[in-house]
Structure 1
Amino acid sequence: MTTNDLQAYSSVLERLKPLINTQLFDEEFRLLTGDLAKSQQFLIKMELKRLAQPCTYYIDLRGRVDGEVRPFEHKGQTHYLDEVAIQTFENGLKQYGQYTIGIFEDVTNTNNNFRVRHQQETNKRLQDVLSGETSDKTVNLATLPSDMDSTANDYKAAQLIRFAGYSVRREERMNFSIDIEVVLQDEERFPASTSDLSVSGCKIKIPLAIEMTAGQKVAIFFRGLEQEFALGINNGIPYQVIDVEPADKGYYVRLKRLPLADEKGFSEFLQNFIHGNKRRYKVNLDNTYEAVFIKGYEQFYLPRISSLPVFLAVNDGKATPSCVLTTENNRHLMHYFQDERQQNVLSQLLHVRRLKQCLAKEANENSTVLYTFTHAAKGRLFFYSATTEELLQHPELKAVFFGFGAAKPSFRAFRMSVLRTVPAHAHIPLSLPTTADQEVQKLNQPPTPLIANFIRNLRYIVALTDISTAQSNSLYKAITYDAALLNQLKVFGHAKLEQIPPIESASVQYVNLRSESRFLYKTTVLLERDKGGDIQAFSRDFSSKGIQLECAEPVEFAKGDTVQISLPELQKITTKHQLSALPYEVMAVSKNKLIMNMRVIDPTNDHPGKIFFQQLINNNRSKLTMAEETPKFPGLGPALRNMYIKALDTFAFYVHRQGVRYNLDVVALGAKPNALHKLLAQFSDGPDSITMLPLLKNNATNLQFANQLKKMKRQEIPFSYEVFLRFTPDQDNTEHSFETKFDFDFQLHSAKKAFVDDVVNKDLLFAFKIFLSRTGRPDTEHIAKELGYVSTYAIHKAKVLEEELWSVVGVGDVVDITDEVLLRFNLSNEQIAEQQKKRLTLLAGIKQPV
């Protein structure tokens, strides 16, 4: 790109570009630069030669310009350019005679390029600040952001999609317009035309003067077809109206075909007609396109959920945990809920009384906060747990539970959400009709009898989300309590059971980008440090090349550090390998400094730990549980995945990268809207969009989310934010209704506490935790069949879908933590009850977004 010191001679450069390789160049150059210094003449000539150098760079402007990009061929090379870029490219060819560096720079710096626009906007802001034209006199030039987000004035609402909200079509529809005659039951006849046609139905367009209603029966004569084919049907084809929707200068009416005496013959005719003409006329792809779109976003979200879905089966009136759905982000919770015998205690924590308390709540708020910690005594590990409601029922023990429990490293706060499910939801067939090709029917098979029998009694899903932070735990820990009451905490304790029902584990299936399999295993690990004793930890999973640890105390290690680790328990089973002082490199550290991912440092390929784990895996593969959890029941993972996606009450959002800009363009809704959906829906324009302005305060997308995503890799655990909303009812717009504070807006805990107290005393408090994950490449294997079908009949639509999915760089999971925040800041029981009452009243009165 031409440097700033030559910008003053841009007109000279433009006049000389077409002459650079001609005999007229030297004479014209002398005429135009004769009054310039020799040094300036030299720079201009060198710049012209640089711009005229042949270029082989491939140009791809997809997602980088404000324009429709399409393939552009030039001398066997395919570029992806929009119309402005194509015109610039062709003009450059006329100037230079060939594809050069100058053309490349011109094409990648057109005025509709997002990067160029961003730079122009930034320069204008700088000029405004320097000239004093800005209204904000406190602007600091050193902190002027490099990425600026949309303001409220030009903000575009996010598209709202519903998970599992796609329809399944039994047969292909063809966009086909043909003249028909419609006969009503009173023998009134009128001409109309079809807009699409299938074997069992059609959509027709009728005039405004005609009234038709759902359930009405009509007869249709296909006059256009009768001109070419002898249908031999004298009384018309019977149809029934499904629904009517307004259209331009008329109505669209959806009809289903009713049984006919010689139905088989007409059905065969229509099927053959559609099959024979679907290359000539467009196949209707609406539902398949929608399904691919939504499934693509589902597959970004599900593998990155931090919640642990626990599926409960009802037998003899008693609900007990039967299986869990795991991901890389939630798998550690299975370790947390294990005692010293490696037995899972979820069946004791998720008892019937707690389920009924959640299900009985109003306004679809079927959730609570579950607090847990463990206490070790005589070599045994005992679990203690209490919900918000249980602590309010025992006010004299609340301080004791928090003060004593939070002093334990095991103290956790979980959002516990109870969802209803049915086994029928385990089967989600493709959106393609079985007539599309022979493979569809094979892929659309329901769960096997083995899986169907396993899930037949599943009725509830409890989603457990760890919403603890080191800062929140310190607040609970600071609560003073009467030690004399410690013995009374046994009311929250869970006794040891001799027989604990096993819980099957299955994982979300998706494109695995890891180089090798990992295996679940819990063993003691000691980490050496320069000062003080060793840090105790335990493994969560391992492979031959790496290990993930959970530490008993926060660590000071950072990514890139070298740490010596020892494996004392594993050393007992081998004398061949020395499992102490093993060098490992820290690859990632969690925000709370308790979880570390590490890999072996093995420059000589003889790392004892690597060799030991390789032999351990090879000799015990049948006994080890893969972290990806190949289940005992093949097909269980997809079945549980489908049941969860049809039941969840999540709020998910997606961050797209478009050039240098990051936009929050898509928000997902589960089976029912949660509190945040309802709050934002009040200020949204329609059922298909939702405003995110309250969460995008101060350019949160580009200044916080985007900057964080740039630092993250796909395999890293989510980065979390806490956001606090003051909501003032009965206001006209979002600006007056919401006051937004992120956790990073508060310098001190006291400031956060003061904000919460003020909101509780005057307005309504809503608090949410955002789990932000970096995405990798889209899992197109999950949607391959449907995407291929779209490509067959509308390749341009398939490319648009792929480009949109490839532009996703981050996914956010927003979890309600309001009740936990109220307890965290030690508000009175009366204040908590009043806030809950106000919140439920508000949410119950808000119309659902879709």
Structure 2
Amino acid sequence: MTAPDLQEHLSIIERLKSSVQTSDFDQMFAVLTSELPKSKQFLLKMELKRLSQPCDFYIDLRGHVDGTVHTYEYEGKTHYMDDNAVEVFEQGIRDYGRFTLGVYEDVMNTDNNYRVMHRKETEARIKQVLSNEQGLSDAELTTEPVTRHLARSVQFGSYLNRSEERMNYSITVEIVLGNGKKYSAQTTDISVQGCKLKLARQIKLAENDQLGIFFRELEQEYTLDRNNPIHYQIVEISLLDQKTQQLRVKRLEQSSQQEQEFTHFIDRFIRANKRRYKLNLDNALDAVIVKGYEQFYVPRTSSLPVFISVRQGKSHPQCALTTENNRASFHYFQDELQRSVLPQVLSAKRLKQLLQLPEGQRQTLLYCFTHASKGKLYFYSATEAELATENGLSALFLGFGASKKSWKVFQLSFLNTSSEYSQLHFQLPGDTSADTKAKNTQLLDAYLTPLRFIVSLTDISTDSSSSWYQQLSYDKSAVRALNQFAHAKLNQLPFCEAIPVKYVNLRSEDRYLYKTTVQLQNAQEQKLPDAFSRDFSPNGMQVETMLPTQLKRGDLVRLNLPELQKISNKFQLKQLLYEVMAVSKSGTIMNLKVVENDDGHQGKAFFQLLIQNNRSKLTVAEEQVKHPGLAPALRNMFIKALNSFPFYLHRKGIRYEMKAIAQGGQPNSLHLLLAQLSTEPEHLNIEPLLKHNAVNLAFASQLKQMKRQDPPKNYELYLKVTPKADTKPELSCHYDYEFNNEPEKKAFIAQLIADEAVLFCYRIWLSRTGRPDSDFIAQELNYISQYAIHKAKLLEEELWSVVGVGELVDITDELLLRLDIPPAQRQQQSSLRTKVLTSASD
């Protein structure tokens, strides 16, 4: 970008940039700059020559501009630009006569670029602040309140069950301690088996102490024993303020007749007065929040949870929980016979190596690519640790593998789990159906009990990251040495099945599993690779091709159904027009939608009749499962183990806010870092994430263009941590769209490492959410509505305002390796990160 001291001469640069390569450039330059000093003339000429230098950079504006990005071919290279950038690019080519640095910089600095928008907004804000400061005293400026950005912290899988209703009821009671001393206390709520008390802080008590309670005010209204107290035990003590403490107490054994009579009395009393004094609904309110945010996140997670079973000392992947976002990862590990090779990729040897690492650090990078030969698909994979031990093969594997279209990099996390976590459910007071649910899960014991671990596979590869690996130099003659990373073709493979997670059916119609031959043609009537159907509905079809295609969303295709045509003379099943709605990353699986004309659609009519006459014989896609309740059980186990960083974007009017952060069984490194800035355990201070107004500039603009079924958009977040001796560390965030290009990004990271700061890098997946699954939380909302309808409405408003869900995963190790940071510096950064996180968790 042109230096600030030359900005005032941009008009001269615009006049001369198209003439730099012409013979009369020097003459024109001398005329236009005759009044400038020699030093300024020299700088201007150097700048013009710099801008006219040939450029071989790839332009990739995906996630960087407020516009729809599409491919653009120029001189054999594929760029990704929106219409605005294409216009600037083509004008630059006309001005310079070729692709130069000047063209590249103009394209990267269009008005709809998020980085440019952010800079202009910041400049305007600073200008406004400076203008407002005139006439204000120093005291007035320094006393302005500091705004903190707090987000609700949601703990997945944390449901507080109550077997009985608890009524908010405040009366004065008298407590009797074991030493005979008596004190006055105040109830805050009461149930049949317990209550909460407030009393003076100076009274010395301990958990598990026993005490007696006289309900003096109730004795005056009702016939109660005035001589013998009701016996309780202290369960929990908490301090409310400097003068008051709160006790949570439970009833002791009720053997005496007086105790049993009191039980019946309290039960009748609560039933008669619960609408007058209101029930304590805290547990139900928390359950709606937790369950509501869980059902937004799990169907949109990009991580693929693979469940590892252990039988007789041997381990193997048994199943994977698939979602809309991670299904492509499961399909990636299927061979030409649609068999999962995950049992080979996640071998016992690799799992054992991860298990030997300290808990919380059990993760590695998994590099993969495939090779097709003679109709068979061969898989190659290597972990970060395996490449480190094989001298000279690291660059060979990474460089050669990245040249393949099938190249993938996965973040592999090894997590503990247990079948006990499968029975997570919330129980309302008096709800006996929960017992039935627990009994139903016993039918799954044989399946779930062996599941001991979860391997979370997260695809962190992108086109831009792959280009860095492709730059690695390697000995092409040594490619055969990579055979040691190949997985052998086996006649039999241990079965690993996909279990789809489902909360709410957002489709307008059911899809039915059916495999039949499909012949495809593109819009140019070119024949596409052989294909077969995976499922169908009257208005659409999912098709899988034997080889990857170049089709993309929005393309039109025509298809023939030769096998189905044999059974139907009534419908013409040839040249049926469909629109491509989605294509897998492998380019082999696509979702098609019927394109109707004035005469209707023969395929739609045929499938409607087929379904009508054969509904009992057809299998609904993703509806039939091997064990009823298996998907919810695996979902419960996953949310209790996950270590990612889910966050939620809410829409409030025209603005978007990040109002909730979730956490699974293990805190992410970002959880620990942000917790240091927070003083409230139930909230996280997310101010570092919002410094560049990412929510309303980048994220909101992206969500406005997305539909619920669209794949997530990727971002990278760079977090610079500067430790302080006596205070909390300083956190500074930078998003990838703030940098002009990859070299500039690498220079920033190299400088950060040189300054001995600590780097954390995160990959972000941002998805558009659909409507909440009301059925999933209907029971709790109905219960709350009976006693506090205003609270139920507030909960519904909060959940219905969620428009986006994000998932954030730590990819620092992969970034440093990708950018070819020297091993010594990578090790130093690893030690610094461990030190920072250890301090944060203390």
Deviates more, 1:537-546 or 1:342-351: 537-546
- TM-score (structure 2 length as normaliser): 0.77
1:318 aligns with 2:318: no
Aligned residue for 1:260? 254
Aligned residue for 2:48? none
- Report the alpha carbon displacement of residue 302 of structure 1 after superposing the two structures with TM: 1.0
- Report the alpha carbon displacement of residue 533 of structure 1 after superposing the two structures with TM: 7.9
Q: Give the conservation status (yes or no) of the 8 Å contact 1:392–1:829.
A: no
Aligned residue for 1:640? 634
- Report the alpha carbon displacement of residue 601 of structure 1 after superposing the two structures with TM: 0.8
Assess, with a 3 A threshold, how the Cα gap between structure 1 residues 758 and 159 changes in structure 2: closer, same or farther.
Answer: same
| Aligned pairs (5 A) from 1:511-550 | 511-518=504-511, 526=520, 528=522, 530=524, 534=528, 542-547=536-541
Aligned residue for 1:585? 579
Aligned residue for 1:406? 402
1:492 aligns with 2:492: no
Aligned residue for 1:180? 173
- Report the alpha carbon displacement of residue 218 of structure 1 after superposing the two structures with TM: 0.8
Aligned residue for 1:349? 345
Q: SS state of the match for residue 163, structure 2?
A: coil
Aligned residue for 1:427? 423
Assess, with a 3 A threshold, how the Cα gap between structure 1 residues 548 and 396 changes in structure 2: closer, same or farther.
Answer: farther
Q: SS state of the match for residue 292, structure 1?
A: helix
Aligned residue for 1:685? 679
Q: Give the conservation status (yes or no) of the 8 Å contact 1:655–1:811.
A: yes
Q: 1:221 aligns with which of 214, 221, 226?
A: 214
- Report the alpha carbon displacement of residue 702 of structure 1 after superposing the two structures with TM: 0.3
| Aligned pairs (5 A) from 1:823-838 | 823-838=817-832
Q: Give the conservation status (yes or no) of the 8 Å contact 2:523–2:558.
A: no
- Report the alpha carbon displacement of residue 187 of structure 1 after superposing the two structures with TM: 0.4
Aligned residue for 1:759? 752
| Aligned pairs (5 A) from 1:748-827 | 748-761=741-754, 762-827=756-821
| Aligned pairs (5 A) from 1:594-743 | 597-604=591-598, 607-610=601-604, 626-730=620-724, 737-743=730-736
Q: C-alpha deviations, 1:393-452, integer Å up to 9, x for none?
A: 11411112122222222211111111111111111232412x2x5x64566544343212
Distance in 1 between the 2:121 and 2:766 partners? 31
- TM-score (structure 1 length as normaliser): 0.76
Aligned CA RMSD, in angstroms, stands at: 3.5
Q: Give the conservation status (yes or no) of the 8 Å contact 2:766–2:805.
A: yes
Deviates more, 1:476-485 or 1:126-135: 126-135
Q: C-alpha deviations, 1:666-719, integer Å up to 9, x for none?
A: 111111211111122222233222122332232100001111111111121111
Assess, with a 3 A threshold, how the Cα gap between structure 1 residues 493 and 609 changes in structure 2: closer, same or farther.
Answer: farther
Aligned residue for 1:501? 494
Q: Give the conservation status (yes or no) of the 8 Å contact 2:565–2:572.
A: no
Q: C-alpha deviations, 1:236-270, integer Å up to 9, x for none?
A: 12211112222254211111111132244433332
Q: Give the conservation status (yes or no) of the 8 Å contact 2:160–2:426.
A: no
Q: Give the conservation status (yes or no) of the 8 Å contact 1:309–1:325.
A: yes
Deviates more, 1:549-558 or 1:239-248: 549-558
Assess, with a 3 A threshold, how the Cα gap between structure 1 residues 592 and 700 changes in structure 2: closer, same or farther.
Answer: farther
Q: C-alpha deviations, 1:179-227, integer Å up to 9, x for none?
A: 3211111100122221111121111111233221112111111222222
1:474 aligns with 2:462: no
Residue identity in the other structure for 1:668: A
Q: Give the conservation status (yes or no) of the 8 Å contact 1:731–1:737.
A: no
Q: 1:365 aligns with which of 354, 361, 364?
A: 361
Q: 2:286 aligns with which of 287, 290, 295?
A: 290
Q: C-alpha deviations, 1:455-502, integer Å up to 9, x for none?
A: 111111111111111222222233222123222212211112232222
Distance in 1 between the 2:563 and 2:341 partners? 25
Assess, with a 3 A threshold, how the Cα gap between structure 1 residues 411 and 520 changes in structure 2: closer, same or farther.
Answer: farther
Assess, with a 3 A threshold, how the Cα gap between structure 1 residues 407 and 126 changes in structure 2: closer, same or farther.
Answer: closer
Q: Give the conservation status (yes or no) of the 8 Å contact 2:529–2:549.
A: no
Assess, with a 3 A threshold, how the Cα gap between structure 1 residues 704 and 464 changes in structure 2: closer, same or farther.
Answer: same
Residue identity in the other structure for 1:454: Y
Distance in 1 between the 2:267 and 2:381 partners? 61
- Report the alpha carbon displacement of residue 731 of structure 1 after superposing the two structures with TM: 7.4
1:379 aligns with 2:375: yes
Q: SS state of the match for residue 369, structure 2?
A: strand
Distance in 1 between the 2:470 and 2:415 partners? 32
Give identity over the alignment, percent: 47
Q: Give the conservation status (yes or no) of the 8 Å contact 1:719–1:771.
A: yes
Distance in 2 between the 1:208 and 1:596 partners? 67
Aligned residue for 1:12? none
Assess, with a 3 A threshold, how the Cα gap between structure 1 residues 212 and 652 changes in structure 2: closer, same or farther.
Answer: same
1:199 aligns with 2:192: yes
Aligned residue for 2:265? 269
| Aligned pairs (5 A) from 1:68-217 | 133=131, 153-217=146-210
1:447 aligns with 2:440: yes
Residue identity in the other structure for 1:469: T
1:846 aligns with 2:837: no
Q: C-alpha deviations, 1:277-313, integer Å up to 9, x for none?
A: 2122211111111111111111111111111111111
Distance in 2 between the 1:500 and 1:620 partners? 34
- Can you give the 5+ residue segments of structure 2 that lack an aligned partner in the other structure? 1-119, 134-143
Assess, with a 3 A threshold, how the Cα gap between structure 1 residues 554 and 288 changes in structure 2: closer, same or farther.
Answer: same
- Report the alpha carbon displacement of residue 777 of structure 1 after superposing the two structures with TM: 1.5
Distance in 1 between the 2:615 and 2:389 partners? 49
Assess, with a 3 A threshold, how the Cα gap between structure 1 residues 726 and 511 changes in structure 2: closer, same or farther.
Answer: same
Distance in 2 between the 1:740 and 1:591 partners? 30
Distance in 2 between the 1:752 and 1:127 partners? 26
Deviates more, 1:601-610 or 1:296-305: 601-610
Distance in 2 between the 1:833 and 1:623 partners? 60
Assess, with a 3 A threshold, how the Cα gap between structure 1 residues 346 and 210 changes in structure 2: closer, same or farther.
Answer: same
Aligned residue for 1:14? none
Distance in 2 between the 1:520 and 1:153 partners? 58
Aligned length: 707
Distance in 2 between the 1:585 and 1:714 partners? 18
Q: SS state of the match for residue 409, structure 1?
A: coil
